[in-house]
Amino acid sequence: MKVYQTNEIKNISLLGSSGSGKTTLVEAMLFESGVIKRRGSVAAKNTVSDYFPVEQEYGYSVFSTVFHVEWNNKKLNMIDCPGADDFVGGAVTALNVTDTAILLINGQYGVEVGTQNHFRYTEKFNKPVIFLVNQLDNEKCDYDNILEQLKEAYGNKVIPVQYPIATGPNFNALIDVLLMKKYSWKPEGGAPIIEDIPAEEMDKAMEMHKALVEAAAENEEELMEKFFEQESLSEDEMREGIRMGLANRGMFPVFCVCAGKDMGVRRLMEFLGNVVPFVSDMPKVVNTEGKEVAPDSNGPSSLYFFKTSVEPHIGEVSYFKVMSGKVKEGDDLTNANRGSKERIAQIYVVAGPNRIKVEELQAGDIGAAVKLKDVKTGNTLNGKDCSYKFDFIKYPNSKYSRAIKPVNEADVEKMMSVLNRMREEDPTWVIEQSKELRQTLVHGQGEFHLRTLKWRLEHNEKIAIKFEEPRIPYRETITKAARADYRHKKQSGGAGQFGEVHLIVEPYKDGMPVPDTYKFNGQEFKISVKGVEEISLDWGGKLVFINSIVGGSIDSRFMPAILKGIMARMEQGPLTGSYARDVRVIVYEGKMHPVDSNEISFMLAGRNAFSEAFKNAGPKILEPIYDVEVFVPSDKMGDVMGDLQGRRAIIMGMSSEKGFEKLVAKIPLKEMSSYSTALSSLTGGRASFIMKFANYELVPVDVQDKLIKEFEAKHAEE
CATH number at residue 505: 3.30.230.10
Identify any residues that bridge with 431 across adjacent strands, giving them in sequence order.
Answer: 442
**By three-state DSSP, how is residue 110 classified?**
strand
How far apart are alpha carbons 171 and 142 in whole angstroms? 12
Instruction: Please report the pLDDT score of residue 450 as a whole number.
Output: 92
Last residue of a domain, one of 582, 617, 652: 617
The DSSP annotation for 132-149 comes to EEE-TTSTT--HHHHHHH
Instruction: Please report the pLDDT score of residue 67 as a whole number.
Output: 92
Tally of domains within the chain: 5
357 and 245 assigned to the same domain:
no
Q: Is the pLDDT of residue 500 over 60?
A: yes
Last residue of a domain, one of 275, 301, 332: 275
Would 366 be classed as within a structural domain?
yes
Would 600 be classed as within a structural domain?
yes
Instruction: Please report the pLDDT score of residue 48 as a whole number.
Output: 73
596 and 657 assigned to the same domain:
no
Mean pLDDT of 137-165: 94
Q: What is the CATH number of the domain that holds 257?
A: 3.40.50.300
Nearest to 535 by CA among 556, 502, 508, 513: 508
For residue range 79-113, list pLDDT tens digits in order.
999 988 888 999 999 999 999 999 999 999 999 88
462 and 480 assigned to the same domain:
no
Q: Tell me the average pLDDT of the chain.
A: 91
Nearest to 401 by CA among 448, 443, 434: 443
Q: State the residue range of the domain holding 456.
A: 400-468
Looking at 164-168, 493-497, 621-625, 647-651, which range is the least confident one?
493-497
- Of how many residues is the chain composed? 718
Residue 471's pLDDT band (cuts 50, 70, 90): very high
How far apart are alpha carbons 197 and 182 in whole angstroms? 5
Distances (CA, A) of 559 to 19, 251, 486, 598: 66, 68, 15, 11
12 and 65 assigned to the same domain:
yes
Would 392 be classed as within a structural domain?
no
87 and 151 assigned to the same domain:
yes
How far apart are alpha carbons 16 and 308 in whole angstroms? 22
> What is the pTM for the complete model shown?
0.83
Q: What is the CA radius of gyration of the chain?
A: 32
How far apart are alpha carbons 669 and 501 in whole angstroms? 38
Instruction: Please report the pLDDT score of residue 640 as a whole number.
Output: 94
Angle at 91 between CA 85 and CA 92, to 5 degrees: 105
Nearest to 463 by CA among 435, 400, 421, 432: 421
Nearest to 586 by CA among 558, 555, 613: 613
Would 388 be classed as within a structural domain?
no
Nearest to 647 by CA among 666, 624, 661: 666
Would 598 be classed as within a structural domain?
yes
Who's near 675: CB < 8 A, 6+ residues apart? 399, 628, 647, 667, 689
Identify any residues that bridge with 663 across adjacent strands, giving them in sequence order.
Answer: 630, 654
How far apart are alpha carbons 503 and 606 in whole angstroms? 8
For residue range 293-350, list pLDDT tens digits in order.
999 999 999 999 999 988 777 888 999 999 999 999 999 999 999 999 999 999 999 9
Identify any residues that bridge with 487 across adjacent strands, giving them in sequence order.
Answer: 500
SS (H, E, C) 207-243: HHHHHHHHHHHCCCHHHHHHHHHHCCCCHHHHHHHHH
